Structure 1
């Protein structure tokens, strides 16, 4: 089970991390343009296909049977590995290549904000800048970008792929 989780988690994590790194470097090279959030979301879903493959593989290892609990835990493990790789790659990029990320991101968001929502966006960006002063918050915020998607997909895949 552990080998299955690690193998599929690493493969999915590589996809999520490569696309995230590409989007971040695109944003750094083109400071006025906002990266496409749809591409980021689709890449996360693509990375989580390895979660489904991992659950199916675990079912085959168990002679074609898997309970919801076992399927969910397998998916959760794969999700955690994917999210951890994503977080580690972000920390590496943030600390070594893009330490002014929050300033640039804040400028981009405020520049693209509608006038009626500018005050709310300014407050939101200032809160995020404050959070980004703490390394623990950087880690937690980055996990919150990807891990909840993995939890939801683990639940759905566990329900669909369970087989007695």
Structure 2
């Protein structure tokens, strides 16, 4: 079981982290305009491996039947490993690109708020909050768990969906021996 958790978690983390790294390298360290949509889409695709792992466990190891909680916990464990790998990939990305993401994000957020017509008093308060964010984000002990919290909720949702669907042995049943696939 541990081997399954580690292998699927590593694969999912790399599937989410490596394209992120490549996109930032290709963009020369600048965050893409639609980075959030791209990032969460990559996470969802990568974490589809949770579904594959739970289905394989149900069909190959448990005779076609798995209960909700064991399936959910397997998915959570895989998601946890994937989150660690994803956060490590982000740290490598920041180190290689020398990108100051905290500053870039704060600038973008302030510019968007200014464009929305936020009053000067609120902009000043927001600027102070963004300065604090930049200071905090520069610390890897703050940044690493924060990065993990980007992907972990996606893993939680995928784990819930996989467990809920695959607990029903009639949902995508394993092919019977001798039947065409």
Give the TM-score normalised by structure 1. Answer: 0.85
Question: Counterpart in 1 of 2:9?
Answer: 9
Q: Which has the larger radius of gyration?
A: 2
Q: Is the 8 A contact 1:87 1:143 kept in 2?
A: yes
Q: Is the 8 A contact 1:4 1:57 kept in 2?
A: no
Change (3 A) 1:133 1:29: closer
Q: Is the 8 A contact 1:106 1:125 kept in 2?
A: yes
Q: Which moved more, 1:153-162 or 1:110-119?
A: 110-119
Question: Counterpart in 1 of 2:41?
Answer: 42
Find 2:147's aligned residue among 117, 139, 142. Answer: 142
Count of residue correspondences: 163
Question: Counterpart in 2 of 1:57?
Answer: 56
Work out the CA distance in 1 between the residues paired with 2:128 and 2:80: 31
Residue by residue over 1:39-94, the C-alpha shift from the partner in whole angstroms, topping out at 9 and shown as x without a partner, is 21111110111010011011121111111111011100110111111011111222
Question: Counterpart in 2 of 1:125?
Answer: 130
Name stretches of at least 5 consecutive residues in structure 1 with no aligned partner.
Answer: none
Q: What is the CA RMSD across the aligned residues, in angstroms? A: 2.3
Work out the CA distance in 2 between the residues paired with 1:84 and 1:28: 25
Residue by residue over 1:91-110, the C-alpha shift from the partner in whole angstroms, topping out at 9 and shown as x without a partner, is 12223432522222322333
Larger helix percent: 1
Name stretches of at least 5 consecutive residues in structure 2 with no aligned partner.
Answer: 170-181
The 4+ residue runs of structure 1 with deviation greater than 4 A are: none
Alpha-carbon deviation of 1:157? 1.4
